[in-house]
Structure 1
Amino acid sequence: MVKLRFSVNVLLIGGKTMSLSTLSNLPFIDYVINLIDILLVWFVLYKLLVIIRGTKAIQLLKGIFVIVIVRSLSSLIGFNTLGWLMQQVMNWGVLAVIIIFQPELRRALEQLGRGQLFTRTTVGQEEDEQDRLVESIVKATSYMAKRRIGALISIEKETDLSDYIETGIPIESHISSELLINIFIPNTPLHDGAVILRNNQIAAAACYLPLSESPFISKELGTRHRAAMGVSEATDCLTIIVSEETGSISLTKNSELYRDLDLETFKSMLSKELILDNKQASSTLWNWRGKKNG
């Protein structure tokens, strides 16, 4: 049980004084303190899970759970050698976790320093920003498709794309259709490579994306399509491709390629992935107001 050790006196109703240490001996006070303690721990764990959700760190976290389970089963069954090996892994695990989760820890500390770890934008603001994002992308894509201007645009979702953003030229600008079009105009410094969108902003341009090595991709597809497939195999981002040869619009997500989309279908898919998913994600314990979905 949690015990308070303060010597400060508290003035109670009726003119009597009682120390906080005396109050802590009351069962009700102990229960309240323990309850607050548990809620704070769960709150911190929840925020940590939100930070690493959708990143590669979540897969590594599953691996840690597997090691703990194997260690426990080894002790129960009597596999001494395997148990000793797992114990050594756990002994050095703290240092390994710091090294492996370094990007996520840095990101959490940056958010804490900016005061953004415990803040959240309103649902209405998020929806308006997502609406503007979809409209800007659709307008720019339509313009480039009609004029056969090749383009490659990746939209970050849950999986962090910092590794790919660092390969390009930082932009950090609000999204507009005019800016997107201007970036991909041929023979300009930023047109070669991918534009990556993060948090409703253009994070960087001229970024390098990993090429897919899948043998099932059609031979008639070029480097842009292979890069879009490659990044969709490694992350959960959406990637838009405008073909320079045909002016067709394609989209990749979760290792799937959707080719030759008409403008209405393309806009519908973007809205479903960015706006509707955003509305569903906002229905958490932080959303204290009821709202209709879709």
Structure 2
Amino acid sequence: MLDFFRWQDAIDIIVISIIVHRLLLLIVGTRAMQLVKGLLIMGALAAAARIFDLRTLSWFLGKVLGVLVIAIPIVFQPELRKMLEELGRGGSLWQRKKTGKKAELLSHEVARAISYLKGQKIGALIVLERNTGLKDFWRTAIKLNADITQELLISIFWEGNPLHDGAVIIDRDNIVAASCYLPLTENSDLSRWIGTRHRAALGVTEVSDAIALVVSEERGEVSLAINGHLSKNLKEAQVQKLLLHYFGGEDEENKSLLDRLQEDIRTLWS
């Protein structure tokens, strides 16, 4: 084989590897990544079916893959559009993560909004979407697709605004929707003093990997819900740090966001 291997082939392999790697970086942290994993599993099953001559299974997987070729562009149209927009802007293909300046700006906008709502004792529920898509919850809500700003977040939760009763869902880039109604937690061990917003925050984190921040209108404190656990009375510096981790999306010493958030939770009472 080495007799037929040219130096151009080596360049071909390197370039294709870089392109595939960068494309994967674009979809990491999106619903499309779950699709890729599913396709890889189906591909492995199809290969095994051919090796062991499982004709019925091979026929079935072939039909399913044929349908997916049509269904995938329809179902994942928002993700594909976002990917093409990032490619068109340039640079995103080679550097997926937001710059520290952009992450800091977004985290400050949300943190200032939460601080103001807390000071005025205005109830609020902000959900930060991560890997698990939350379309089931914002499908019937008021879709915004708006830039993340302090003023918009405050106005949404302002008393008398028709949108203030539900949750706001953020997807790292923008405010997806407002007035979103979330499933309440099924945890029966919670104190009866835990309100509806906190129960909704716990509920969405039980069925997804989302992060939920709650501002209590009774006590004027900020609570964090993640992975079905609730931590109360967060300090402003802790809220800012959590938001910076979320919007930055950068690994610190190869730790996942969840690991770092859990470390912050453990320091709440220190």
By the TM > 0.5 criterion, same fold? yes
- Say which SS state the counterpart of residue 163 (structure 2) adopts: coil
Q: Hey, what's the Cα distance between the residues in 2 that align with 1:149 and 1:73?
A: 57
Tell me which of the two structures has the higher relative contact order, counting C-alpha pairs closer than 8 angstroms and 6 or more residues apart: 2
- Does residue 103 (structure 1) correspond to residue 105 (structure 2)? The answer is no
**What's the offset of the Cα at 1:240?**
0.9
Q: CA RMSD in A?
A: 3.7
Residue 17 of structure 2: aligned partner: 42
| Residue identity in the other structure for 2:21 | Y
- Does residue 195 (structure 1) correspond to residue 182 (structure 2)? The answer is no
Cα pair 1:185 1:191 within 8 Å, conserved: yes
- Does residue 128 (structure 1) correspond to residue 101 (structure 2)? The answer is yes
**What's the offset of the Cα at 1:186?**
1.4
Distance change (3 Å), C-alpha of 1:125 and 1:96: closer
- Does residue 243 (structure 1) correspond to residue 205 (structure 2)? The answer is no
* Bigger radius of gyration among the two: 1
Paired positions, count: 251
Q: Hey, what's the Cα distance between the residues in 2 that align with 1:167 and 1:184?
A: 18
Residue 13 of structure 1: aligned partner: none
Distance change (3 Å), C-alpha of 1:44 and 1:213: farther
Worse-matched range after superposition: 147-156 or 191-200 = 191-200
**What's the offset of the Cα at 1:181?**
1.5
Cα pair 1:51 1:104 within 8 Å, conserved: no
Q: Which residue of 235, 242, 250 corresponds with 1:278?
A: 250
Q: Which residue of 67, 74, 90 corresponds with 2:61?
A: 90
Superposition pairs of residues 163-174 of structure 1, within 5 angstroms:
163-174=136-147
Cα pair 2:202 2:228 within 8 Å, conserved: yes
Residue 256 of structure 2: aligned partner: none
Q: Hey, what's the Cα distance between the residues in 1 that align with 2:34 and 2:171?
A: 22
Q: Hey, what's the Cα distance between the residues in 2 that align with 1:122 and 1:68?
A: 29
| Residue identity in the other structure for 2:63 | W
Q: Hey, what's the Cα distance between the residues in 2 that align with 1:129 and 1:43?
A: 26
Distance change (3 Å), C-alpha of 1:162 and 1:128: farther
**What's the offset of the Cα at 1:149?**
1.0
**What's the offset of the Cα at 1:225?**
1.9
| Residue identity in the other structure for 1:92 | K
Superposition pairs of residues 91-240 of structure 1, within 5 angstroms:
91-98=62-69, 99=71, 102-104=74-76, 107-109=79-81, 111-112=83-84, 115-116=87-88, 119-120=91-92, 126-240=99-213
Distance change (3 Å), C-alpha of 1:135 and 1:50: same
**What's the offset of the Cα at 1:241?**
0.6
Cα pair 1:51 1:108 within 8 Å, conserved: no
Cα pair 2:119 2:220 within 8 Å, conserved: yes
Q: Hey, what's the Cα distance between the residues in 2 that align with 1:27 and 1:72?
A: 27
Q: Which runs of 5+ in 1 are unaligned?
A: 2-25, 282-294
Cα pair 1:209 1:227 within 8 Å, conserved: yes
- Say which SS state the counterpart of residue 92 (structure 1) adopts: helix
Q: Deviations over 1:263-285 (max 9, x none)?
A: 2333333334434x33659xxxx
Worse-matched range after superposition: 40-49 or 85-94 = 40-49
Q: Hey, what's the Cα distance between the residues in 1 that align with 2:182 and 2:159?
A: 19
**Structure-2-length-normalised TM-score:** 0.72
Distance change (3 Å), C-alpha of 1:43 and 1:269: same
Question: Share of identical aligned residues, percent?
Answer: 32
**What's the offset of the Cα at 1:191?**
0.8
Q: Hey, what's the Cα distance between the residues in 2 that align with 1:160 and 1:48?
A: 19
Cα pair 2:143 2:177 within 8 Å, conserved: yes
Distance change (3 Å), C-alpha of 1:230 and 1:44: farther
Distance change (3 Å), C-alpha of 1:213 and 1:259: same
**Structure-1-length-normalised TM-score:** 0.67
- Say which SS state the counterpart of residue 60 (structure 2) adopts: helix
